[in-house]
């Protein structure tokens, strides 16, 4: 089977390449910056920026002859440049659909998110739940908008529509993405080793979020492709991660800090460009539902091999030790490099991209 993967160099893409290694499938990778080394050497690569106008044309060339397209490409930074993030996420999804139709692709696997669901903190939902996103975070609104775009395509194409699968995982973590995840949330001038030195963790006790290891999500993707399973699937490990789980993984003592106060403090730092994390992510963490994964387990035979607490511990330990991958997206976090880019390109959250 020929499988084209957008965002193949990212967190989920890297895990998917590991999962497909030696499977006999013909793999095509699409990324803005092409990686080298393992596990990226087994692909034929196409350099495409999905945020650019006319991206459907080079995507069409990448998708030529593909039996399935796995659409993983998405953006998290620069968090102040909402227009760019919208062009990449929603506009990029539109370009992928157009290119896949033109190339005659039979199956599109779209990576959505728990963030596409409407606010339902602490409530466990299945795939039929409302999908309006969380209005305080562009990422969430864009994930919901991308799904509406797929809805529109399916309604217009009718019986002629290609098969579409929508995957809605919880927060996706793995050790190889540790540097990237830390870079998105903690400014480069803060040493990674600080994570192991925190005496307390000020956080709201109401935190309860779905988490899944990238390798388990990659296994789910392969099952969807090989079984040609259409529709929506939730993916999350058990149990949901709580504030106390996070504190234990960090070796810190949990201290109650209301989510609104934390969001306010993060917002001040974000607005003055002291830190790159959009405070909407904090709102999201306290607004997302928990995920009912019954459909994935029943129809795909999917079961996570790594529980959520183990996945969290592995990732935090990897963060503290600066673990990374060969991909430009998952590159090692460097305080010196971030300082250089701060002086030449501005803060990560506000950096200009094409």
Q: What is the DSSP letter of 89?
A: I
Of 92-101, 219-228, 340-349, the least confident: 340-349
291-302: pLDDT as tens digits: 999 999 999 999
**Domain range for 180:** 174-209+240-289+306-333
CA nearest to 84, candidates 156, 32, 155, 123: 32
Confidence of residue 5 (pLDDT cuts 50, 70, 90): very high
For residue 299, tell me if it sits in a domain: no
Does 162 share its domain with 192?
Answer: no
Query: pLDDT at position 344, please?
Result: 55
Does 259 share its domain with 129?
Answer: no
Average pLDDT, the chain: 94
Does 186 share its domain with 314?
Answer: yes
pLDDT score of 276 more than 60: yes
Does 129 share its domain with 204?
Answer: no
Does 164 share its domain with 216?
Answer: yes
For residue 344, tell me if it sits in a domain: no
Query: pLDDT at position 352, please?
Result: 47
Number of independent structural domains in the chain: 2
For residue 165, tell me if it sits in a domain: yes
CATH code of residue 120: 3.40.50.720
pLDDT score of 93 more than 90: yes
Does 143 share its domain with 265?
Answer: no
Does 60 share its domain with 109?
Answer: yes
For residue 354, tell me if it sits in a domain: no
Q: The whole model's pTM is what?
A: 0.94
Does 127 share its domain with 271?
Answer: no
111-167: pLDDT as tens digits: 999 999 999 999 999 999 999 999 999 999 999 999 999 999 999 999 899 999 999
For residue 51, tell me if it sits in a domain: yes
For residue 347, tell me if it sits in a domain: no
31-57: pLDDT as tens digits: 999 999 999 998 999 999 999 999 999
Does 196 share its domain with 144?
Answer: no
Does 50 share its domain with 166?
Answer: yes
For residue 322, tell me if it sits in a domain: yes
User: What is the rounded CA–CA span in Å between residue 156 and residue 53?
Assistant: 23
What is the length of the chain?
A: 354
33, exposed or middle or buried, with CB in 10 Å at 0-12, 13-18, 19+? exposed
Does 129 share its domain with 246?
Answer: no
Does 188 share its domain with 263?
Answer: yes
- Residue where the block lists tokens 């390449």: 17
- Kindly list the distances between the CA atom of residue 211 and the CA atoms of 107, 157, 232, 306, in Å, as whole numbers in the listed order: 26, 34, 18, 10
For residue 340, tell me if it sits in a domain: no
pLDDT score of 351 more than 50: no
Confidence of residue 187 (pLDDT cuts 50, 70, 90): confident
């Amino acid at each position: 089977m020929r499988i084209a993967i957008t965002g193949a160099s990212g967190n989920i893409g890297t895990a998917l390449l590991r999962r497909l290694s030696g499977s006999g499938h013909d793999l095509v990778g699409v990324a803005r910056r092409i990686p080298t080394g393992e596990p990226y050497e087994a692909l034929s690569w196409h350099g495409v920026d999905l945020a650019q106008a006319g991206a459907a044309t080079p995507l069409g060339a990448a998708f030529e002859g593909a039996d399935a397209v796995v659409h993983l490409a998405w953006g998290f930074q620069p968090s102040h440049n909402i227009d760019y993030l919208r062009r990449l996420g929603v506009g990029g999804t539109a370009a992928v659909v157009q290119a896949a139709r033109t190339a005659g692709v039979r199956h599109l696997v779209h990576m959505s998110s728990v963030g596409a669901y409407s606010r339902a903190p602490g409530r466990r939902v299945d795939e039929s739940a409302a999908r309006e996103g969380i209005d305080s975070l562009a990422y969430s609104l864009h994930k919901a908008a991308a799904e509406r775009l797929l809805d529109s395509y399916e309604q217009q194409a009718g019986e002629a529509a290609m098969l579409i699968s929508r995957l809605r995982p919880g927060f996706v973590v793995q050790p190889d993405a540790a540097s990237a995840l830390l870079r998105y949330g903690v400014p480069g001038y803060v040493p990674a080793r600080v994570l192991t030195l925190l005496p307390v963790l000020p956080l709201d006790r109401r935190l309860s979020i779905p988490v899944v290891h990238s390798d388990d999500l990659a296994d789910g993707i392969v099952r969807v492709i090989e079984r040609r399973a259409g529709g929506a699937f939730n993916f999350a490990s058990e149990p949901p991660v709580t504030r106390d789980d996070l504190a234990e993984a960090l070796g810190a003592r949990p201290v109650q800090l209301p989510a609104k106060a934390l969001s306010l403090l993060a917002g001040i730092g974000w607005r003055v460009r002291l830190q790159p994390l959009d405070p909407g992510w904090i709102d999201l963490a306290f607004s997302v539902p928990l995920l009912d994964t019954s459909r994935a387990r029943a129809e795909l035979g999917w079961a996570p091999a790594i529980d959520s607490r183990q996945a969290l511990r592995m990732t935090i330990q990897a963060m503290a030790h600066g673990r990374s991958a060969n991909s430009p997206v998952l590159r090692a976090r460097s305080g010196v490099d971030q300082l250089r880019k701060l002086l030449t390109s501005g803060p990560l959250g506000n950096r200009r991209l094409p």
